[in-house]
Amino acid sequence: MIDINESVMQFLLAFVVAGPLLGAVAALLPAPPGLKGKSPGQAVLRHGVTVTGAILAAAIVLALGFDHDHPSRMQATTDISWIPALDVRIHLGIDGISLPLLVLTALLTFLCALYSYFKPPAGPAPKAFVALLLLLESGTLATFAVLDLLLFFLAFEMVLIPMYFLIARWGGAGRTRAAWKFILFTLLGSVVMLLGLLLIGIKAGTFDMVALATDNGRSLTTSVQVIAVLAIGIGLAVKTPMWPLHSWLPDAHTAAPTVGSVLLAGVLLKMGTYGFVRIVLPVAPDGFRTFAPYLAALAVVGIVYGSLACLALARQGAKGDLKRLIAYSSVGHMGFVLLGIASTTPTGVNGALFANIAHGLITGLLFFLVGALKDRTGSTDLDTLAEETGAALYGRAPRLGGLLAFGAVASLGLPGLAGFWGEMLALFGSFRPAAGLSRPAFLTFMAIGAFGTLLTAAYMLIVVRRVCMGGADRETAQLADVHGYEFAAWTPLVALTILAGLWPKALLGLTDPAVQQLLAGGPR
Amino acid sequence: MSAQPLAESLVQSVDWLAIAPPTLAAVVALAVLVADLFVPEPRKAVLGWVSVAGLAAATALLLPLLDGDRATFCTDAPARACSYTADHFTLVIQFLVLGGALLAALLSVTHLDDERRRVPAGEFWFLLLSSAAGAALLPASRDLATLIVALEAASLPAFALVGIRHGDKRSSEAALKFFLSSVTATAVSLMGISFVYATTGTLHLTRVAQRLTHVDGQLHTLAQAGVVLTLVGFAFKTAAAPFHFWVPDTYVGAPLPVAAYLSVVGKAVGFSGLILVTVVAFPSYADVWGPALAVLAALTMTAGNVAALRQRATRAYSAVRLLAWSSVGQAGYLLVPIAAAGYTKDAERAIGSTVAYALMYAAVNLGAFAVAALVGRGRALNRIADYRGLYATNPLSALLLAFFLLCLAGLPPGVIGLFAKVTVFSAAVDAGLGWLAVVMAVNVVIALFYYLQWTALLFRAPEGEPVRHRVPAPLTAALALTGVVGVALSGAPQLVLRFAAGGLF
């Protein structure tokens, strides 16, 4: 949109990746004179807002300077040798696939830091909290910006430790167990993934994603591709998460602090699906084609399973936890993303990438709202909240209730909001899957997936009825309505949800050329 | 005319500079032992500093050898073969051994200061330096006799070091256990060497390698048995399963710096010996030792990690015990590339992965021991539970320990640990040892569990009133050194990983 010098772009991208890392180190040091603030805690939280704000600004400038006429071209690239012995290069770059995720990450982290500034997390001193948040941001941003397989792995692993501590130290009930489950599941997946990445790197002679994608699997035999896709796929599927490897997710979400849940759902899950699109699809197309039907089948099982689990949780008397419910709904939503990827068509993959972003915005918002609800009522248990008739949020805190209803209908995929396009395109993709994939099978998957959207609508509406509506007698106990800082943290998410719903081309225009290129043989 | 060649063949010319590093360590050892007689009791600390300086000087003497083209004690007939070679492999391992001994010596200075009554200073330093001299000699040895002599020179003082504490039953028991099992292993090795000598008629590694390629059919089995038995002694020093049972009791019984020394230098002795006999001496028998080492590696890492997982945090000395078992697990990772060398044409690259991993392991493991020594000063039982809330009392050392443990686990921010594991994995995948890579992957996850549990404990709220300690200068130096090395390597992993690209021999 605006013309920015290439070397400035390079610097901005490097800054976006390395900035949070430096910020994390700085957060651990004592505050310099003049920046001490009211208390050490306040000073370090403000530091967090400053750093994430600067990163967000840099990401926005990157997005503005991005050449929107050629989104399939890698831009702002840096390529420096780091470890020649392993052939690891610091290769950074963004294209239409990674740019939206990069901006989403920077945005969500900034909003989380802002929210924490006004509502410090309950737990030990916030110093380590800010440092971990920044470390997490660095890891996720690096995942989306690096173009080297081993560097990707490094970034992928980098988020584990910060997230573990965020859950284990600032989380709610059952946090220790949940944190362990999170890290062990992900790590078991990612070491298997490492073996697959090494196999590809050794057999193809390079770890460079661009070179590998351009090669499009020509230098890899089919059996190598099959083994590599299986190994890498397991690692990514744990992170995504794909049914039946999802069982860490509900526990982690339920136990994590609000900010942790937002980032986990909004950003961390996307690392898995991004890996599928960026690595598996272009690098090992033959191997992926072998597994695509199975992936699609597991994806639709995930869609139905997630929705049924949510329905069960939403029932009266089920003692369903609202956070857990949203976590299970994530399993369903990510199922759509996987279905789109499995179709291996531009339509499906575009839908998957769109659904990725939409899920990040909407689920991020929902976790914020549920966190706020917990702060006000002290519980996220649906039965405790709703009692006999319903929690009557519309009456007691109308704005909060309205936002919750907005988040719920956006999540169920109401046309005109962000949730709609991604899932529709993913279903479209599986209506006409890529050549070589069984059409009847994919048609079945599509039908089941479409049925899943109905189930999604059902449980979301039940939640709205039980939380937002309720008997008139309950309206007496007023709740604090949305605070100013909450508005500040949530408005961008609401606005972007509407924008993406009404003007999907803004996003699809970026992803489509890049996806076309990727499926046809890698970015240039 | 005729007398001169005879004299030449009897009196070899010695390249003193090439053999300077181990020689200096041995000379300082003797000097300290003699000086001990004349130094009055209150000034025994001088001996420690002399030893530290000696080790530092020996390490510095590696600098003029950096070209890596020196060899001495050579015979020319029939083909040139040398008993002592200072090539790049030798230099890297000597650096590892002498540097490791230097850090262990820094830990010992404080330890001896604290336990003045129970540990005789002069003997301690003599034994430590002698053992280090033997360990530095080993990687340079290129004939089987020198190899065994170096192995014994490194081991015998170590037995005495383990049992050096006066009136400590645990210490003497540990020493006896260590001694008996080690001597058995060495005896088996010697038998293996005699078999090899019987089949080849030479002790020089390169000649053994040549002659093993065309062994008489009748002697084939003897040669095979010789190859396998020779490995035993070195596998024992590496603490490979099933020769690992001595490790936990020995580490717990020994003074802490000695345990640190054994965990790094002892292992270096073992695996460098293994590399020399397998890759240099027995390459033609790769089909024998390759699978044997692969199985050994899988067993070792599994045994070590599972046992480490079962450690209870409240048991006495559980911190050292955990480090002991984790070092067994790490030994398993070290063996993986050596096993892979048996399957691949490019054995040097595989060996380089072991060397790179060992350098990483040495730095961070000694760092972890340094923190353990620090905590052990206040809490004599050194339980893992005693590390709870270390961050509150001593934030810097807690952060360092967390970093070291994450390096050992191979997780960012311990970048060097991660990439060292990646090189080991890639050596295995490259050699087609997929099953071993998968076993190792599972082990990495198991190991993560206990490393992370310990790490998480550091940051919990402390129980009771926190006690602040002044950190003594030698410990500070050791911590700073290992910390700087760990962080520098994480920023520039190429510094050690370049060995994984080959070019060591």
Q: Which alpha helices (DSSP H) does B379-433 contain, by range?
A: 390-393, 395-409, 415-430
Q: How far is B434 from chain A (nearest CA, A)?
A: 9
Q: Which domain holds residue B442?
A: 285-505
From B419, B430, B459, residue closest to A83, measured CB to CB:
B419
Burial readout B397-412 (b: 16 or more C-beta within 10 A, e: otherwise): bbbbbbbbbbbbbbbb
**Contact A192/B at CB under 8 A:** yes
B426 reaches A (C-beta below 8 A) = yes
- Does A83 sit within 8 Å of B497, measured CB to CB? yes
Q: Do A169 and B429 touch (CB under 8 A)?
A: no
Q: What is the DSSP letter of A147?
A: -
Using CB atoms, which residue from A154, A164, A187 is nearest to B445? A187
Cross-chain CB nearest to B449 (options A135, A161, A184): A184
pLDDT tens sequence across A432-458:
998 888 899 999 999 999 999 999 999
Total domains, chain B: 1
DSSP class of residue B461 equals P
User: For residue B92, is it within any domain?
Assistant: no
Give the C-alpha separation, B332 to B341, whole Å: 15
Is B459 an interface residue toward A (CB < 8 Å)? yes
Q: Would you say residue B273 has pLDDT above 50? A: yes
Does the distance separating the beta carbons of B493 and A192 come in below 8 Å? no
Neighbours of A177 (CB within 10 A): 14
Residue in B with minimal Cα distance to A193: B441
Peptide bond into B78 cis (omega under 30): yes
Q: Is B73 left (phi over 0), alpha (psi -120 to 50) or beta?
A: left
| CB within 8 Å of chain B, chain A residues 132-151 | 135, 139, 150
Considering only residues B241 and B93, tell me which one the structure prediction assigns the higher pLDDT: B93
Backbone φ, ψ for residue B462 (5° rounding): -70, 150
- Which residue of chain B is at minimal alpha-carbon distance from A156? B412
Q: Which residues are bridge partners to A91 per DSSP? A: A79
B115: contact with A, CB 8 A cutoff: no
Q: Which residues of A touch B447 (CB under 8 A)?
A: none
Provide the pLDDT for residue B32. 93
Whether B426 sits inside 8 A of A202 (CB atoms) is yes
Question: What is the three-state SS of B247-273?
Answer: HHHHHHHCCHHHHHHHHHHHHHHHHHH
pLDDT tens digits, one per residue of A8-42: 999 999 999 999 999 999 888 887 777 777 788 88
The alpha carbon of B478 is separated from its chain's Cα centroid by a whole number of angstroms, namely: 17
Positive/negative CA dihedral, A158, A163, A169, A170: positive
Q: Do A84 and B494 touch (CB under 8 A)?
A: yes
The answer as to whether B301 is a domain residue is: yes
Q: Which of residues 17-76 of A touch B (CB under 8 A)?
A: 28
The pLDDT, as a whole number, for residue A426 is: 92
Amino acid at the residue B7: A
**Mean of the pLDDT values across residues B130-143?**
94
Residue range B352-360: average pLDDT?
93
Point out the least confidently predicted range of A375-389, A482-496, B102-116, B254-268: A375-389
Binned at pLDDT 50, 70 and 90, residue B2 comes out as very low
| Residue B488 in contact with partner chain A when CB distance is under 8 A | no
B125 in Cβ contact with B134 (< 8 Å): no
- For residue A199, the chain B residues in CB contact (below 8 A) are 429
How many C-alpha atoms does A476 have within 13 Å on its Cβ side?
Answer: 2
Residue B203: inside a domain: no
For chain B, percent of residues with pLDDT exceeding 70: 96
Return the axis-axis angle of helices B434-458 and A175-204, rounded to nearest 10°. 140
Examine the pLDDT at A111 and tell me if it is beyond 90: yes
The residues spanned by each domain of chain A are 6-521
Residues of A within 8 A of B419 (CB-CB) are 83, 86, 88, 150, 154
Determine, for residues A192 and B413 on separate chains, whether the beta-carbon distance falls below 8 Å. Answer: no
User: Looking at beta carbons, which residues of chain B come within 8 Å of A190?
Assistant: none
Interface touch A86/B425, C-beta < 8 Å: no
Q: How many CB pairs under 8 A join A and B?
A: 91
pLDDT of B3 reads 46
Do A198 and B423 count as a contact with CB atoms less than 8 A apart?
Answer: no
Residues of chain A positioned with their CB less than 8 A from the CB of B459: 128, 165, 169
SS3 A145: helix
Model confidence pLDDT, tens digit, residues A197-208: 999 998 888 899
User: ipTM of this predicted complex?
Assistant: 0.89
Q: With contact defined as beta carbons under 8 Å apart, do A301 and A243 qualify?
A: yes
Residue B344 has pLDDT above 90, yes or no: no
Q: Say which amino acid occupies B87.
A: D
Residue-wise pLDDT for A466-477, tens only, equals: 888 877 665 566
Residue among A154, A180, A194 whose CB faces B425 most closely: A194
DSSP A177-222: HHHHHHHHHHHHHHHHHHHHHHHHHHHHS--BHHHHHHHTTTTS-H
Q: What residues of chain B lie within 8 A of the CB of A201, using their CB? A: 426
Touching check for A167 and chain B: CB below 8 Å? no
Do A160 and B494 lie within an 8 Å CB cutoff?
Answer: no
Q: Which amino acid is present at A504?
A: P
Strand pairing of B70-75 and B81-86?
A: antiparallel
The residue-averaged pLDDT of B329-358 equals 91
**3-class secondary structure, A40:** helix
Q: Are B298 and B424 in contact (CB under 8 A)?
A: no
pLDDT value at residue B9: 57
Residue B417's closest chain A neighbor by CA?
Answer: A154
Q: How many CB atoms lie within 10 A of CB A481?
A: 15
Average pLDDT, rounded, for chain A: 89
With respect to residue B259, please indicate whether it lies within any of the assigned structural domains. no
- Region B290-300: mean pLDDT is 93
Which residue in B437, B445, B493 is closest to A83 by CB distance? B493
- Gap from A175 CA to chain B (nearest CA, Å): 13
Q: What is the DSSP string of B180-220?
A: HHHHHHHHHHHHHHHHHHHHHS--BHHHHHHHHTT--GGGH
pTM (predicted TM-score): 0.91
Inspect the interface and report whether the beta carbons of B459 and A165 lie closer than 8 Å. yes
**pLDDT at res. B472:** 87
Helices (H), A205-283: 209-215, 222-239, 248-255, 258-263, 269-275, 281-283
Q: Nearest-CA residue of chain A relative to B437?
A: A195
Tokens found for residue A396: 């007691």
Q: Which of A180, A183, A195 sits opposite B425 (nearest CB)?
A: A195
**Average pLDDT over every residue of A518-522:** 76
How many whole angstroms separate alpha carbon B271 and alpha carbon B294? Answer: 14
Answer yes or no: are the C-beta atoms of B253 and B173 closer than 8 Å.
yes
Distance CA B121, CA A165 (A): 44
CB A503 within 8 A of CB A266: no
Nearest-CA distance A184 → chain B (Å): 7
Q: Are B429 and A158 inside 8 Å of each other by CB?
A: no
The residue of chain A with its CA nearest to that of B491 is A82
